[in-house]
Amino acid sequence: MRILLVRHGESLGNVDPRVHLTTADHAVPLSPRGSDQARQAGSVVEAHLAEVLGDARPHVRLWVSPYLRTRQTADALLETGGARITDRVEHILLCEQQFGLFDGVPEEELATRFPAEHGYYDMQCRFGGKFWARMPQGESRFDVAKRIHQAFGTFHRDEEEHGIHDVVVICHGVTLRAFVMMWCHLSPEWFEAEPNPHNCAVRLIEGGKDRGYLFEGFPRP
């Protein structure tokens, strides 16, 4: 199976974290620049699929996290990269890490607003356990990896029952790293050492191997 993993474009939350004080994480939209980034990523996806598929026209499925910013990334990506994509499906397990009580709270305020919860979480992180540390009423990175692994059954069934060997997945930074880790049987230490991808980075998994980034994406200004 060939998998192209794409992180969403720049969101308003990436531009100004204060947007999380008034908007739930799943409802944060792309910035105008984020839409442009997604169109550029679409050109990368289209060029790669054209190169590897040639004149063949197999079923290429686009999987999307159901967050607003990933849906909008899919919309823009399809404008330039949709020539070979045959359908689009959402998968709830591709969503972002759930931040629980910490969602939308500025980092410098966490210790004051949630002293006990933040104290425990901070201790785990300082002792090298960030991968395992669960945010209160939210998820750890371990939890994200578990649910991403649950989604793999859908991909395998698509391949075995419907002959879908090429997929594009639009998701989030932590989700993308967890996907690579679990699909390629990598370690938690690999996950923690791996930088979060830039917005609209495009990463290739092929033959069960991580082939790295086809496109590095757009670092924050």
Between CA 80 and CA 100 the distance in angstroms is 36
Contact of 173 with 200, CB cutoff 8 Å: no
| Strand-pair partners of 6 | 170, 202
Which amino acid is present at 69?
R
Decide if 8 is catalytic.
yes
Catalytic-labelled residue, pool 8, 48, 118, 172: 8
Please tell me the distance from the alpha carbon of residue 147 to that of residue 153, in angstroms, as a whole number: 11
For the question of residue 96 being annotated catalytic, the response is yes
Judging by beta carbons within 10 Å of its beta carbon (0-12, 13-18, 19+), is residue 43 exposed, middle or buried? middle
CA nearest 169: which of 161, 178, 142? Answer: 178
Which residue out of 96, 118, 139, 172 is catalytically annotated? Answer: 96
Going 16 to 22 to 24 to 26, the CA torsion angle's sign is negative
List active site positions: 8, 96
